[in-house]
Amino acid sequence: MTTELHALPDHPTDALAIATAGPATRQGPASPTGGAVAALRPVGLDAVRLDPQGLLGHWQERNATATLPHCVRQLDESGAIDNVRRALGEVSGPHVGMWFSDSDIYKTLEAAAWQLGRDPANVALRAFIDTTSALLARAQEADGYLNSYVQSDAGRTRWDEMKTSHELYCAGHLIQAAVACARAGVGAELFAVAQRLADLAVQRFGAEDGEAVCGHPEIETALVELHRTTGRQDYLDLARRFIDLRGKGLLGEDDRFGRAYFQDHVAVRDATEVTGHAVRQLYLLAGVVDVAVETGDGQLLDTAERLWESAFQTKTYLTGGHGSRHWGEAFGDPYELPPDRAYAETCAAIASFQWNWRLLLATGACRYADEMERALYNAIGVATSTDGTHFFYSNPLQLRTGHDGSHEDAPSQRLSWYTCACCPPNLARLMASLQSYVATADGDGVQLHLYASGNVHTGHGELEMDTHYPWQGQVRVRVRAAGTQSWTLALRVPGWCAQATVAIDGIAVDVAVDDGYLRLTRVWGEDTTIVLDLPMPARLVSAHARVDAVRGCVALMRGPLVYSVEQADLPEGVVLEDVRLDTGVLTATDSGDGRVMLSASGLVPEAPGPTDLYGEYPSPPRSQARIPLTAIPYFYWGNREPGPMRVWIPTAEGEGEQ
């Protein structure tokens, strides 16, 4: 069966028109065109303002004041900017850092553009975009080619190692930065640079004799967004071509990882399981949805939804993280989800968020908004320190006592930068555009997907949200509507919420949940208050029986938040691995600063156990001591001294006090 797609109203596709348009027409990331088919459309780049007093608004403000400036500085300190100067012959020596370091520049440029869309008076960011764009323009070759790694060494050849060179991957991030600039009304020079490179890609790979794909998908979704910005059909055609060429073996065999690592082992439309490098797979699937929506290809959208089932029913961590293998930064087998060996790369969580956003726009299905929320508050939220300048690359759900955190791919605490620095600027660009994912619209009205204090401006009027979400489940929405036409306000009821209630101007409304949303239809007055209550008791969560790694364990959750226990909160002398949870004791407690922690009770041995690694079963009973346990939101862990942490906790059932 082919998924039904729906037509969207028109919005401007001319780049200059978008760059100079008013707030109502400027679009954010992933903005389907008037010729597209989908269920929902974004409300616009300037339509939502997040309140910095709320958690999401605070994260966005921290990004603006700490993370983004930090990323700009690191481009100089890491040598990424000098690599471009090296391509011009202005700096001597070999290329430094990763061969795809240009992408760090481009993601930071994209973040700066989205931030300028919110804060056009930011002189420093505007200067960064202008000076960096001018440098890139000087480095770009006459035919449009731009890649500092290749250009800085005369012995390297363009497009010679498509499996590993990341040339099109870097080009994709440049294009996305340029699109962000166009939509924010800045960086005209960068847009020209990106379009020249895109035109070269069309010339080089669009012809029948130019069959090739990039080893790291990313260019696909970028080309679609460039098509959406300019109206150029050849960009969309090339994106579709790159997708349809996968599975033909164009990348060749790979002795180290295999073809599945590159998603080149089977045609995309025939794939039944997410495989290989998690970021590559998820970026590819974001592009698949983009192409499906723009071309009306229901079969391709069905493919994305089928692979969503594979990912989220069998291969996703409780936090929304993806990738259970350090080897290849890859998806594992179904239900292979070891908490201590979780790779769960930050970029994979961001890619998942972006993929689910596109699926939400395409279908309107609540489950995609639910997954956006889960990833945002847990797998993405955990990646950035409270000071905004230190980051996790991989995000395990357990850190053992005695863990060797000296390796970059599995540190014991967040680092200020990485040799492979893909994650920090990726976080910066997502957070700078975070408000764009809060709400959507369709022909019937407005939908609220992510709850955060702030304002939403739509053609139907202004919505003012006041909430302490995710710490509290009450969301107050004040509607200041204009006009006399009836329209529908849809409020998402998260999948974790057992029973939601809603009142309008103090009067309870009996309305059934429809595919995850409470849909309120009426002619709205000039000032109407809606109160949505989403009860969020603390709860215990178990894993599917086939997730062997956490059998006999439970996790603690409240609302959308996953909680964890850190060594720092245990009594002195208690080793985290010895703790067993009393599942009958679990309460939510206010920490005094608005945050909510969980209080539980645990059991630990009163005396040391056997020293042998293995012994007879059953082991002799041991006396147990009861201790209090404090669980903190998973995204907060690692902000104190380095130490053990775990999300999945063995239960104390059958191990009562002796």
Q: Which residues are the active-site residues?
A: 329, 422
Dist CA 368 CA 370 (whole Å): 5
Instruction: Work out the number of other CB atoms within 10 angstroms of the CB of residue 506.
Output: 7
Please report the sign of the dihedral spanned by the C-alpha atoms of residue 647, residue 55, residue 111, residue 237: positive
Dist CA 638 CA 644 (whole Å): 9
* Amino acid present at 246: R
Dist CA 286 CA 298 (whole Å): 15
> Pseudo-torsion of CA 16, 18, 22, 24, nearest 10°?
170
* 595 burial via Cβ count (<10 Å: 0-12, 13-18, 19+): middle
Dist CA 238 CA 224 (whole Å): 9
- Whether residue 289 contacts residue 225, with contact meaning beta carbons closer than 8 Å, is answered with no
Q: Can you point out the beta strands (E) in 493-552?
A: 501-504, 507-509, 513-514, 517-522, 528-533, 539-541
Q: Which two tokens stand for residue 638?
A: 């690692």
Cα separations (Å) of 586 from 321, 341, 539, 583, 631? Answer: 25, 27, 8, 7, 10
Dist CA 221 CA 285 (whole Å): 9
Phi and psi torsions of 482, nearest 5°: -125, 140
> Pseudo-torsion of CA 326, 332, 337, 342, nearest 10°?
10
* 606 burial via Cβ count (<10 Å: 0-12, 13-18, 19+): exposed
Dist CA 316 CA 308 (whole Å): 10
Dist CA 502 CA 476 (whole Å): 10
DSSP for 205-247, written as a single string: HSSTT-----SS--HHHHHHHHHHHH--HHHHHHHHHHHHHTT
For the chain, how many helices (H) and strands (E)?
Answer: 16, 22
Dist CA 575 CA 95 (whole Å): 46
Residue 588: CB partners within 8 Å, gap ≥ 6? 537, 538, 558, 596, 597, 598, 599
